[in-house]
Structure 1
Amino acid sequence: MRKICLTLPTNRACTAMIVALLQEAEYAARTFDVEVHVLILDSSGPATFAEHARAARTAPAAAGIVVHHLGEDEQRDFLREVIAAAGAVKQDLLLDLMLPDAVSYGACTNRAFLIAAALGCASVHRRDSDSDYQVLGGKPVYPVHHELMSLGKRAADAAAGVTGSDLAAEHADKPVVLVGSSFIGELSVDIGEMRDLDREVYHDVVSLWAPSEWSAEQKRELVDESFRGAGHDPFTGDRADLTLVDPMRVDMCNVSFHGVHERVPLPRRPTPSAATTSCCIWCTTPRCPGSFTTATS
């Protein structure tokens, strides 16, 4: 049975999201032939951690669900063992980079990738702790549905499970390695107040993550698109698209990877040799980031 990792990094109280995540895990195990490893990487304080632990113990008593709730001490022990076994140079520095004292979205996601690989999971499905799932027809809409419909498949085979595709025939044999979804609500990072106070400062800050060789117009377009998701229109249903997507447009909330997360460095932008799938799923709450889906050979 294929293993997948459904992961939730957090440093805040998010008991309701943990319960909802476990329900998504139950849906995945029931609907697809997978063993779901729920990985909660928890950097919150003792009281909040205890609340999360109680929530984690409410996991459905169903086959195919394994819950791992790890605090920073457990994560650090794991990293030390892996770094030592790898014989890495500057092991203390590597440990600090993987588990820094300050909050780091990137480092926490890297730890999820590493632990998922150690668990033998074929894919990683990341969720955000201050988001929630859309509800349609009285039922929650789980991103894992679209993710498992496409991840790891040949693009040609995944085409039957999406709404539309604009991939050229030359990409048909390439695997789908990234599936992500857009979101409805506030910006996916906490810089909305900066944008409201001073648009020029906001532009200067957000454009810092654009490649240095980009033109002013390209940077402006990136700033205009970044962290906005699908805006604020009410959710009316999913549309899943198989297409080429620029990884620069991928946001990290409802996003999943197959294989490519174990390759460093990641490709910075699509090339003719990269096939991509884009699965758009509108999420419910304010701040449910996500974007698009990339399939790369």
Structure 2
Amino acid sequence: MRRICLTLPTHRECAATIAAVAEEAAYGAAEFGVEVRFLVLDSSPPPVLAAHRAAVAALPPAPGVAVHHLDEDGQRGILREAIGRSGTADPDRLLGLLLPSRVSYGSCTDRAFLIAQALGCTSVHRRDSDSRYQTFDGRPVFPLHQELAFLGRAADEVKEPATRHRIAPGTGDRPVAVVGGSFVGEMSVDIAEIHGRDPDVYRELVGLSIPDDCPAIWRGHLVEESFRGAGDTAFDGDRTLLAPVSPTRVDMCNIALDHEVYRRVPLPPATDTIGTDYFLLGLAHDARLPGVEHNRHIVNFHTEERRTDAGFLAYQLRFARFLLAKAYLNDVHARTKAAGDALLDGEHRLRTALVAQFVRDSLARDPEEDTRRLDGVERAYRRLGGRYAEVADALAARRESLPAEVRDGMADFAFLLDHWPALTRACADAGLSVNR
């Protein structure tokens, strides 16, 4: 029986989301006859963790669904065993990258990839704690429906059920590697207030996320479309596009990846940096791996924590780090785009060593360019005034250290890539024990 991993990483209160995703798991098992491992990776503080344990205990049993709720101690034990079996010479560094003390959007999903391997799953389906499902005819609109219908099947096999298709000649025998939808509701990145305060500053900051060689005629459009998802589009019936999926068209709260993708390449383990968890989507697109984009968009919302002074500052600093990291990530994607089909071996699998080399090549960037970029971000925040000036002050105080931290994050990514195939093999071969 096909076994899949539906995962919900969290570090904040989300009992309602746990119940909703469990309902999606039950739907997938009932409608598609699959075995669903619902994996909650919980980094919440003790009181919230206790509430989540109660929420999980209260879930009604569902045929074909097994629930695994792992706090950081539970995750650490699994990782230690996998790292030990992998034979790495630097286990402490690997463990620190996979389970850092600070927030890492990439690392939490990398842990899901590894545990899914240990559970014998053939795919990972990710949801987020700050989202919920749309409804249609009184029922939730579950993305899992389209993910299970298409993922892992050869592109030529699913042309007919897809609403539209745009597959390059010679790629029809490649399996669908990514299935994703977007979101409706609030922006995925909490910068709407910046646009309201000063549209010019908004365009300046968001523009830093776009490759420097992007033609001017496209740049303005990309700036306006970034982080907005599907806007306020309400679900009114299924539509799908079979084609390599652009990371700008989907969201990580609404994504599924075939194991042949994530068992070979992880996500960057950068800490306190938004957006780095989209790396695999860009890589699959550049390799011309087929994907399916659907319109079962999830509803995004911002938690109250982001509205506090501490939450606001932390989030804006994560966005600033993203703008610094993007210089390196854009360099890597320029290389992967140029490589195209060469990113794959003869069996349509990603070549880990080549990706690692591209990441290392990006480190040739002049560090002074990073400092100048940071100075520009600081000046932009200072022009916004108000509490954004506090963000500028925080950036100025870290002018010497922050660019180096971002650069070190890319070096860490190359290190993780070097060890990733051995890690995923260790998880799959050992069948590690994953307790509820």
Q: Which residue of 2 aligns with 1:68?
A: 68
Distance 2:219 2:75 in 1: 37
Distance 2:53 2:186 in 1: 29
Q: Which residue of 2 aligns with 1:291?
A: none
Q: Is the 8 A contact 1:28 1:145 kept in 2?
A: yes
Q: Which residue of 2 aligns with 1:256?
A: 256
Distance 2:89 2:210 in 1: 30
Partner of 2:7, secondary structure, is strand
Partner of 1:222, secondary structure, is helix
2:231 is equivalent to residue 244 of structure 1: no
Distance 1:237 1:140 in 2: 12
Q: Which residue of 1 aligns with 2:295?
A: 280
2:74 is equivalent to residue 78 of structure 1: no
Aligned-pair CA distance for 1:212: 5.4
Q: Is the 8 A contact 2:235 2:296 kept in 1?
A: no
Q: Which residue of 2 aligns with 1:154?
A: 154
Aligned-pair CA distance for 1:22: 0.7
Q: Which residue of 1 aligns with 2:139?
A: 139
Calculate the TM-score normalised by the size of structure 1: 0.88
Q: Which residue of 2 aligns with 1:96?
A: 96
Task: Name structure 1 gaps, 5 residues minimum.
Answer: 288-295
Counting aligned pairs with the same residue, the percent is 48
Of 199-208 and 25-34, deviating more is 199-208
Distance 1:13 1:177 in 2: 31
Q: Which residue of 2 aligns with 1:15?
A: 15
Of 259-268 and 90-99, deviating more is 259-268
Q: Is the 8 A contact 1:59 1:67 kept in 2?
A: no
| Alignment root-mean-square deviation, CA | 2.3
Partner of 1:69, secondary structure, is strand
Q: Is the 8 A contact 2:242 2:292 kept in 1?
A: yes
* Distance 1:248-1:57 versus aligned 2 partners, 3 A rule: same
Of 107-116 and 243-252, deviating more is 243-252
Amino acid at match of 2:265: V
Distance 1:6 1:32 in 2: 14
Amino acid at match of 1:51: A
2:211 is equivalent to residue 196 of structure 1: no
Aligned-pair CA distance for 1:280: 2.6
Aligned-pair CA distance for 1:13: 0.7
* Distance 1:96-1:280 versus aligned 2 partners, 3 A rule: same
Aligned-pair CA distance for 1:82: 1.4
Partner of 2:132, secondary structure, is coil
Deviations along 1:59-107, one digit per CA (max 9) or x if unpaired, are 3323211111011111122212211221223322221211111111111
Amino acid at match of 1:270: H
Distance 1:192 1:8 in 2: 26
Partner of 1:184, secondary structure, is strand
Flag the structure with higher helix content. 2
Q: Which residue of 1 aligns with 2:24?
A: 24
Q: Name which one, 1 or 2, has greater alpha-carbon Rg.
A: 2
* Distance 1:183-1:225 versus aligned 2 partners, 3 A rule: same
Amino acid at match of 1:153: R
Calculate the TM-score normalised by the size of structure 2: 0.61
